[in-house]
């Protein structure tokens, strides 16, 4: 294994000596008409912002049923994980060590993050990768975008482009652990050189690597486009229905040794059952050669529940809905067995409008957005040994509501000061109002009326050294409000602020792309992960005072020959809480300077691709993630060991002369060396007052999410 790691590290310096030709220019490629939908929140090649662009073709090589985060695993500074262990169902992504709650996600410029939890639940949009035209990952604060601000990265997604020609596409794949994906896509092509209608239906099933961690996923996508002279209109609807068996509780170290695939849940219907539908409308109008406008509308409707069997649960939790069991002597135990469901029912409306001005030297965008969210949170008991007087099945034992409005306005511009120096400026004002009423699931009265006003400036310079390379530097500020679960953990929690400094160099010539970027992210009251989970598996965060992340990212692509390409990257970082004050043994202890949770100091990956023919592609994908802590006290019990895994991807394309336009055969072997590794977990402390009578002794523990050992996928796509 060490030899493989050394090889991975050695190939990075090789990028300095390769000289093979590529088509890209330092100005970047020409923008397609569809891209005007996301133009206001994407950055170009010369921008002073660290970013990566991914195309549909790149995504399709490994799109065999796993969620989008898993497909992004080999980009710089990224760590991914899967609750079920095989990349299907609930998956997560961290960029620069920052939680998914602090990563801004947009689809066609529309926020995808849940306004209350700030989370992004890809399981709600299974197989959405099949409807993505391109995406851009911006690391750090990035450019101003819609929705809550980015504290580690932003990912903006563009859905399928207009197809000039009609087609039908059938994709089927099969994989380990009874994993199956079935996808049907179509497009009418351009009708009368103006209209196009396209769509997709998908079904994914998997038993999961973890026992009983099954996924039953359905999704749809329907998009209509109209193009005429200076008008482009895009109307679409997409959504999904997911049923997944719970596997978020993980396992202990002892359980891993006993059986790393075991799941502590055994109740047959311990499932998550959720539906989400999205409706979008986009209208772009080119007024003249310099001015264009864009309007976007969105409505998202989400509803569903997760069901749990609770053994010997306290009846106090249910406010009189259920009554206590009795012991053999007829004495109330204060507990009972029951089955409960916790529901979410929410509506999200969004409107944004932007105007863009372009000249030979100036590119300027003005944009504003407004959104409103209304979410109901409630719980019901669907079975109990005995219901309380005047109560019956499905009566709610808690009922709460959250309302949130978000208004932002920003202006950004890039200006060529001369033929070498380009200035970038970006100013955003964001106002957030958040109100809650009713009870939480712990029967706590949660009444909030919070208002925030944030000012987020961003400035940068790019200097063109020559026709092949540029250097750049930038400063960005971001502010972000707490989530609902943050308030539930601590009603006095504060918003977080980030000052982000970036300095980098990009080089592109003769088959070589080389990017090196350094960053210093200085936080005030960062909402850092404590490592613990609440009773529904949501990561608990807390303000960490003053903290920082400082790092170096190297990303490159080299054509070694006409047949071989390598694409290595690495991230070296130091991520520290300047001072950590936490309760321990009945008093507040100063742990001093500690590592920020879930933030390894070393991440590296590499892709080696061999293309003996244009239609045949073989790739070796390698990933190493260094040791990390799951808590903020540097406790040895919170350590996650480093891991190094390798995958092999194969694709073979056939272009028959009859009937089929294209046949694509794909194969993927994950974790080819059968490594037993853990990519994620949780860490908690608790007070034990029994072992030392009259004293408080703080103990700690941990849970882990084992990932699948060697597993494979095979896919066949027919296009006609």
Q: Are 384 and 421 in contact (CB under 8 A)?
A: no
| Chosen CATH of 2-719 out of 2.130.10.10, 2.40.170.20, 2.60.120.280, 3.40.630.30 | 2.40.170.20
The neighbour count for residue 691, using CB atoms within 10 Å, is: 8
Contact 383, 393 (CB under 8 A): yes
Contacts of 126 (CB under 8 A, 6+ apart): 67, 202, 204, 215, 217, 218, 219, 240, 242
Distance between CA atoms of residues 367 and 357, nearest Å: 12
13: three-class secondary structure by DSSP: helix
Question: What's the CA gap between 354 and 293, in Å, rounded?
Answer: 6
In degrees and rounded to multiples of 5, residue 60 shows phi and psi of -65, -20
Q: Which residue has the tokens 């977990």?
A: 681
**Selection from 260, 345, 360, 270 nearest residue 307 by Cα:** 270
The one-character DSSP state at 256 is: H
- Of 696, 612, 692, 681, whose CA–CA distance to 81 is shortest? 681
Q: Radius of gyration of the chain from Cα atoms?
A: 26
Distance CA 285, CA 703 (A): 53
What's the order of all strands across the beta sheet hosting 132-139?
51-55, 132-139, 153-159, 103-107, 110-111
- SS3 category, 101: helix
Three-state SS sequence of 654-672: ECCCCCCCEEEEEEEEECC
Residues ≥6 apart with Cβ < 8 Å to 628: 97, 595, 597, 598, 599, 600, 639, 640
Spatial distance between the Cα atoms of 715 and 61, rounded to a whole number of angstroms: 10
- Whether residue 527 contacts residue 513, with contact meaning beta carbons closer than 8 Å, is answered with no
**Selection from 93, 56, 59 nearest residue 603 by Cα:** 93
What is the tens place of the pLDDT at every residue in 556-571?
999 999 999 999 999 9
For residue 90, give every residue at least 6 positions away whose Cβ sits within 8 Å of its Cβ, in sequence order, or none.
82, 83, 84, 121, 123, 244, 247, 248, 272
Apex 125 CA angle, 123 and 127, nearest 5: 95
Do residues 422 and 46 make contact, with C-beta atoms less than 8 angstroms apart? yes
Compute CA distances 265 → 54, 210, 211, 355, whole Å. Answer: 38, 11, 9, 52
Q: Is the separation of the CB atoms in 121 and 90 below 8 Å?
A: yes
Structure-token pair, residue 216 = 């039953």
Contact 688, 667 (CB under 8 A): no
Q: Are 577 and 601 in contact (CB under 8 A)?
A: no
DSSP label at residue 37: G
| Residue 27: predicted pLDDT | 41
Annotate 465-515 with DSSP letters as a single string: -SSSEEEEEEEEEEEEPPPHHHHHH-TT---EEEEEEEEEEEEEETTEEEE
Phi-psi domain of 69 (left: phi exceeds 0; alpha: psi -120 through 50; beta: other): alpha
Parts of the chain with a pLDDT under 50: 1-30
| Residue 488 neighbours by CB under 8 Å, 6+ apart | 440, 442, 444, 446, 534
- pTM comes to 0.92
User: Contact, 298 vs 279, CB < 8 A?
Assistant: yes
Pairwise CA distance, residues 182 & 702, whole Å = 37
- Of how many residues is the chain composed? 720
Report pLDDT for 4. Answer: 45
d(CA 596, CA 590): 15
State the Cα–Cα distance between residues 537 and 213, nearest whole angstrom: 15
Rounded to 5 degrees, what are φ and ψ at 66?
-80, 155
What six digits make up the tokens of 402? 């959250």
Which residues, in sequence order, are bridge partners of residue 310?
338
- The pLDDT tens digits for 116-136 are 999 899 999 999 999 999 999
Q: What DSSP character marks residue 632?
A: S
pLDDT at 328: 82
Residue with tokens 């996301």: 38
H helix or E strand, kind and range, residue 2: helix 2-14
Q: How far apart are CA 681 and CA 420, in angstroms?
A: 48
Q: How far apart are CA 104 and CA 112, in angstroms?
A: 8
Please name the residue ranges forming H helices in 15-152.
56-60, 68-71
Report the SS3 class of residue 127: coil
CA–CA gap between residue 202 and residue 690 (Å, rounded):
54
Contacts of 393 (CB under 8 A, 6+ apart): 381, 382, 383, 387
Q: How far apart are CA 402 and CA 449, in angstroms?
A: 10
Q: Are 52 and 191 in contact (CB under 8 A)?
A: no
């Amino acid at each position: 294994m060490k030899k493989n790691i050394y090889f991975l590290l050695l190939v990075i310096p090789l990028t300095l000596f390769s000289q093979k030709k590529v088509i890209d220019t330092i100005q970047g490629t020409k923008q397609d008409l569809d891209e005007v939908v996301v133009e206001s929140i994407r950055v170009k090649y010369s921008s002073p912002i660290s970013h990566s662009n991914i195309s549909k073709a790149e995504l399709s090589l490994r799109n065999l049923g796993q969620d989008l985060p898993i497909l992004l695993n080999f980009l710089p500074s990224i760590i991914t994980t899967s609750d079920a262990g095989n990349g299907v169902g609930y998956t997560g992504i961290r960029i620069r060590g920052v939680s998914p709650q602090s990563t801004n996600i947009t689809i066609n410029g529309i926020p995808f993050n849940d306004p209350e939890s700030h989370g992004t639940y890809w399981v709600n949009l299974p197989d959405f990768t099949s409807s993505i035209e391109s995406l851009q990952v911006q690391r750090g604060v990035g450019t101003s975008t819609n929705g809550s601000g980015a504290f580690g990265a932003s990912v903006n997604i563009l859905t399928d482009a207009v197809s000039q020609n009609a087609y039908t596409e059938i994709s089927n794949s099969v994989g380990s652990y009874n994993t199956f994906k079935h996808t049907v896509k179509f497009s009418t092509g351009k009708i009368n050189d103006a209209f196009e209608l396209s769509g997709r239906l998908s079904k994914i099933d998997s038993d999961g690597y973890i026992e009983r961690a099954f996924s039953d996923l359905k999704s749809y996508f329907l998009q209509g486009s109209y193009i005429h002279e200076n008008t482009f209109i895009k109307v679409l609807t997409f959504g999904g229905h997911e049923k997944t068996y719970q596997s978020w509780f993980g396992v202990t170290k002892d359980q891993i040794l006993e059986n790393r695939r075991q799941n502590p849940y055994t109740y047959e219907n311990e499932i998550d059952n959720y539906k989400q539908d999205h409706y979008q409308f986009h209208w772009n109008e080119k007024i003249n050669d310099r001015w264009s406008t864009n309007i976007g509308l969105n409505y998202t409707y989400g509803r569903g529940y997760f069901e749990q069997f609770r053994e010997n649960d306290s009846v106090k939790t249910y406010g009189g809905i259920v009554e206590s069991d009795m012991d053999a002597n007829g004495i109330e135990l204060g507990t009972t067995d029951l089955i409960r469901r916790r529901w979410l029912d929410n509506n999200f409306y969004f409107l944004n409008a932007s105007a863009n001005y372009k000249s030979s030297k100036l590119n300027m965008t003005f944009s504003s957005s407004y959104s409103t969210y209304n979410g109901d949170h409630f719980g019901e008991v669907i079975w109990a040994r005995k219901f309380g007087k005047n109560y019956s099945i499905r009566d709610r034992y808690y009922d709460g509501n959250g309302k949130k409005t978000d208004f932002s306005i920003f202006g950004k511009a890039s200006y060529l000061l001369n033929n070498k120096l380009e200035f970038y400026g970006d100013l955003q004002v964001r106002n957030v109002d958040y109100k809650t009423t009713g009870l939480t699931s712990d029967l706590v009265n949660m009444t909030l009326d919070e208002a925030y006003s944030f000012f987020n400036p961003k400035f940068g310079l790019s200097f063109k050294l020559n026709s092949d390379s540029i250097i750049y530097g930038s400063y960005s500020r971001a502010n972000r409000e707490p989530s609902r679960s943050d308030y539930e953990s601590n009603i006095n929690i504060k918003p977080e602020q980030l000052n982000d400094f970036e300095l980098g160099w990009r080089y592109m010539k003769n088959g070589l792309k080389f990017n090196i970027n350094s960053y210093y992210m200085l936080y005030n009251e960062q909402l850092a992960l404590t490592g613990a989970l609440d009773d529904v598996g949501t990561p608990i965060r807390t303000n960490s005072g003053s903290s920082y992340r400082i790092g170096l990212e190297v990303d490159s692509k080299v054509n070694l020959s006409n047949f071989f390409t390598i694409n290595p990257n690495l991230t070296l970082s130091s991520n520290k809480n300047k001072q950590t004050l936490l309760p321990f043994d009945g008093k507040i202890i100063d742990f001093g300077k500690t590592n920020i949770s879930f933030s390894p100091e070393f991440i590296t990956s590499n892709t080696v691709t061999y293309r003996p023919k244009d239609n045949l592609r073989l790739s070796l994908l390698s990933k190493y993630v260094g040791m990390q802590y799951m808590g903020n006290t540097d406790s040895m019990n919170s350590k996650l060991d480093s891991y190094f895994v390798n995958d092999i991807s194969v694709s073979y394309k056939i272009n028959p002369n009859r009937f089929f336009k294209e046949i694509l055969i794909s194969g993927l072997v994950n974790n080819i060396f059968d490594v037993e590794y853990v990519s994620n977990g949780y860490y908690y402390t608790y007070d034990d007052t029994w072992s030392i009578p009259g004293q408080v002794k703080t103990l700690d523990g941990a849970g882990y999410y084992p990932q699948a050992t060697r597993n494979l996928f095979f896919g066949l796509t027919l296009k006609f």
